[in-house]
Amino acid sequence: MALENLRGRFGSIAPVEIAPGVAAWVLLSYDLNQRVLRDPAGFPRDPRRWREAREGRATPETVPGPFWYFRNALASDEPDHSRYRAVIADALAAITASGARLAVREITAELLAEKALSGRCDLVADFAFHLPLLLLNGYFGLPREQGARLVGLMRRVWDGGKDAEAARLELFGYAQAVTVDRRARPGTDIVSRMVAHPHGLDDEEVAHQLILVISAAHDPLMNLIANAVHTLLADREFRSDVAGARTRIEEAIDAVLWRSPPITLLPGRYPTRDMELAGARLREGDCLIIGYGPAHADPVVAPKAGPVGSSGARTHLAFGTGPHRCPARDLARQIGVDAVGALLDLLPDLHLAVAPQALQRRHSPFAHGLDALPVVFTPTTIAPPASPSTTGAPSCPHAPTPSSSSPDRPAPRHTTSRRSARWHAWWSKVWRPGR
């Protein structure tokens, strides 16, 4: 049953069956999702509390997907949560916005240079999938083929198919091997920083944090980039609002995070006692599935989000809320902004190659993304980076070295007015009244 049908039948919280004989609850209202996310004492995160699993009805084989992680920052309660979160946050803090922006622009040029002369491409397969992958490769210090393997495994877990559990086990084994290697041969990458952190995580714990960073960084970023471009090209009203309001890319990304969040559902929270919640009678250990997509579609709240660029548009839950809120939310948002901006700079006359209704969404209970986003544009020549790195991103996530800002490779600096000018130049080409 569609989520909106569940809302009409049950209200703020709906009973669902996530596998034969395995019950759970989906949170549908904005306020209820926010309440549960902000109450880790009443609704802890550790899936080992899950009653359906404790009583043998749910197993990794019968319920695939991201239900079974418990030693990472997102799926842990105190005191482990604070330990794990600090390790991730401190490792990611070495990434600067300027360094990430430079990497995004170089990777975008490298990816689009291969397709520019043809005048057409699939912005999911050819761009949105690869850009966060190549960024992660650089920040993890991985060659392309290894990063692609990790990301491919994580995507199978997100999609929750019959091979999701095998992918989860293979992913953990590979992440642990990377961790062991970094402990033996430390570098300046994110994994090495997690290994060397004063909190002293063991190899298994570091591997779990690595998997969490991959899962939170690649698939959601890929979906955000593709959803943003899709919305800009397919939604005439959105295009009109953006063009008329002189909206910046940052504000457009916030609007897309409201309207089309990259993750629509995510397990879970587990009440510590029997209770009544929004009229539903819950038992201790029931699984509550957080509904980011349903929360944003809540008819009580959606109008309050306001127009694009308003403060209400920044109250979305796409990065979570409460103590488990994404520690890299500002960086993730900025990467999305920079990716869309770099794309539109290089291909300013993008158009959908098919009717909007012909586009297909991924078959995933959790991820909200497109299978493909075919576009056409005027064939052009794009010069790839002068000397792209072997990973497609800086191998060291530190602040840029002097060579990064040398005259040979200037870091882009865009004022609001220049970015606005580029933005409106693009809109003048792709938007016409009545189109």
pLDDT at 304: 60
- What distance in Å separates the CA atoms of residue 360 and residue 343, rounded to the nearest whole number? 22
Tell me, what DSSP letter sits at residue 367?
A: B
Q: How many residues does the chain have?
A: 435
- 0.75 cut: is pTM over it? yes
- Nearest CA-CA partner of 384 in 352, 409, 358: 409
Neighbours of 365 (CB within 10 A): 18
Question: Coil, strand, or helix at residue 225?
Answer: helix
What are the tens digits of pLDDT across the range 214-233?
889 899 999 999 999 999 89
- CB 423, CB 249: distance < 8 Å: yes
pLDDT of amino acid 260 = 92
120: which 2 tokens? Answer: 């057409």
Domains of the chain: 3-301+324-383 (1.10.630.10)
Write out the two tokens for 34.
């926010």
pLDDT digits (tens, 9 = 90+) for 300-338: 987 666 555 555 567 899 999 999 999 999 999 999 999
Residue written as tokens 């899936």? 47
Taking residues 43-54, what's their average pLDDT? Answer: 95
Q: Which of 374, 385, 377 is nearest to 408 (CA)?
A: 385
Spatial separation of the C-alpha atoms in residues 377 and 302, rounded to whole Å: 34
Rg of the chain, C-alpha, whole Å? 22
Render pLDDT for 146-184 as a digit per residue (tens, 0 to 9). 777 887 887 788 777 778 888 888 888 989 999 999 999
User: What is the Cα–Cα distance from 157 to 295, expressed in whole angstroms?
Assistant: 23
Element (H, E) at 159: helix 144-159
The predicted-structure confidence for 179-207, as pLDDT tens digits, reads as follows: 999 999 999 999 999 999 999 999 999 99
